[in-house]
Amino acid sequence: MAGETTTKFYAVMLIDDNEIDNLINQKMIEAAGIAEHIYTHTGARSAIEFLKNLEKLDKETKDVLPDIIFLDIDMPLMDGFQFLDEFEKLSDNTKQKCKVVMLTSSINPQDVNKSKKYSYVKKYINKPLSQDNLANLEI
């Protein structure tokens, strides 16, 4: 419907160790108006813990889980692929609800190919997010 302003998603999550990138991407998502809530994490470990804690909420979980996780690859301590390996261990509910979009400055074809091995990685986007990226986020 034309002129409809309802948000597409309840929540999206940004995982990036670069706080400036997080801020820019958060502003883009806000401007695009695609999500009611934006969870930001500067570390993959804290993001996994956050998802695990949401799972403990039981039946409400599905409502508060992010619909999309924008995941950076190159992070200290736990990188994007290590996050995906941990994500794999989460409940089926979580894995069905959360679609992962690799959001990275890496143009390394190996990273692109590696991300394709994970069934819940739906897209690979180069930073920063743009209104175009968000408008065409059909996943």
What the block records as the tokens of 75 is: 């992070």
- Mean predicted lDDT score pLDDT of the chain: 90
Angle at which helix 80-87 crosses helix 44-56, to 10 degrees, equals 20
Query: Domain extents for the chain?
Result: 14-135
Using a pLDDT cut of 90, give the percent of the chain over it.
78
Select from 2.40.420.20, 3.40.50.2300, 3.40.1160.10, 1.10.260.40 the CATH code of 14-135.
3.40.50.2300
Q: Which helix (H) or strand (E) holds 62?
A: helix 61-64
Confidence (pTM): 0.92
> Residue 1 — very low, low, confident or very high, per pLDDT cuts 50/70/90?
very low
pLDDT tens digits for 10-31? 999 999 999 999 999 999 999 9
| pLDDT value for 62 | 67
